[in-house]
Amino acid sequence: MGRNLEDIDLKAFLFDMDGVLYDSMPNHAKAWVHAFKSLGLEFTDYDVYMREGMTGSSTISEVFASQLGRTATEEECQRIYKFKSQCFENLPQPPKMKDVEKVLSAIQAAQKEIFLVTGSGQLSLIDKLNHSFPGVFARERMVTAYDVKKGKPDPEPYLIGLKKGGLRPEQAIVVENAPLGVRSASSAGIFTIAVNTGILRDEELLKNGADLLYHSMEELYLDLPRILGVTKNLR
């Protein structure tokens, strides 16, 4: 907290993927709730959104500990996560987040670089991104599950993103939607914009270190000229 837009020598935006580029969280929520329900365990949509970015094993272990009073075995974690993934795959492809293309285009027009920092480990991610957002993302400007050891909420993924771009924290802005993602970016010392595209209370994002908060990509898009104006031509 306490970072100022005025102190940013802006070179790049670092984007999270789920809930930012794609409106994929409703599907994740459906799949997790269904997977736990099949075991007789309580898990709400809100629980899913609060844990976004956590590994599957950590989520399963937490629910086992709180509701069954024991840890989940490795085998249980794998089986339940596999079932959740199958449920997710069976749902229709999530759409692009409304108005995100306008945001990306405006950033490109301002000649700022665009990086992706995601916990996703989908194999054909770059193909999918190139199909959805032609000419925006590149492999050398991406951090995925394969690049990290700890993942969000650790600052590691965003620190790796900065390193890939040869950037200092004060040269970038992060766009995130999840509490743990905001905490990761904020702990990496980067100015963090939260776009609350889901069902959580704003407070969940603000208390994890969001410097600015919007409720839609449209809102962010409308404020972008101000953000770019305040940060540019500083030094």
SS3 142: strand
Q: Which residues contact 234 (CB under 8 A, 6 or more apart)?
A: 6, 8, 9
Segment interacting with Ca ion (CB under 5 A) among 17-25, 36-44, 59-67, 98-106: 17-25
Compute the least distance from the CB of residue 29 to Ca ion, in Å.
12
Return the range that interacts with Ca ion (CB under 5 A); candidates 9-17, 40-48, 54-62, 98-106.
Answer: 9-17
198 binds Ca ion (CB under 5 A): no
Span from 7-15, 98-106, 171-179, 211-219 in contact with Ca ion (CB under 5 A): 171-179
Q: Rule CB under 5 A: say whether 16 interacts with Ca ion.
A: yes
Alpha carbon distances (Å) from 57 to 52, 62, 64, 179 = 13, 9, 10, 18
Tell me which stretch binds Ca ion (CB under 5 A): 10-18, 71-79, 109-117, 141-149. 10-18
Q: Which residues fall within 8 angstroms of residue 56, CB to CB, at 6 or more apart?
A: 77, 80, 81, 84, 85
Residue choice 27, 61, 144, 177 for contact with Ca ion (CB under 5 A): 177
Q: Which is nearer to Ca ion, 16 or 170 (CB)?
A: 16
d(CA 156, CA 183): 11
Give Cβ neighbours of residue 141 (< 8 Å, ≥ 6 apart). 113, 114, 115, 116, 164, 165
The SS3 call for residue 6 is helix
Told to check if 19 binds Ca ion by CB under 5 A, we report: yes
Question: Is 171 strand, coil or helix?
Answer: helix
CB of 134: closest distance to Ca ion in angstroms? Answer: 22
178 lines the binding site for Ca ion (CB under 5 A): yes
Among residues 8, 15, 18, 28, the one that binds Ca ion under rule CB under 5 A:
18
Contact status: 184 vs Ca ion (CB under 5 A): no
**Under the rule (CB under 5 A), what is the footprint of Ca ion?**
16, 18-19, 177-178
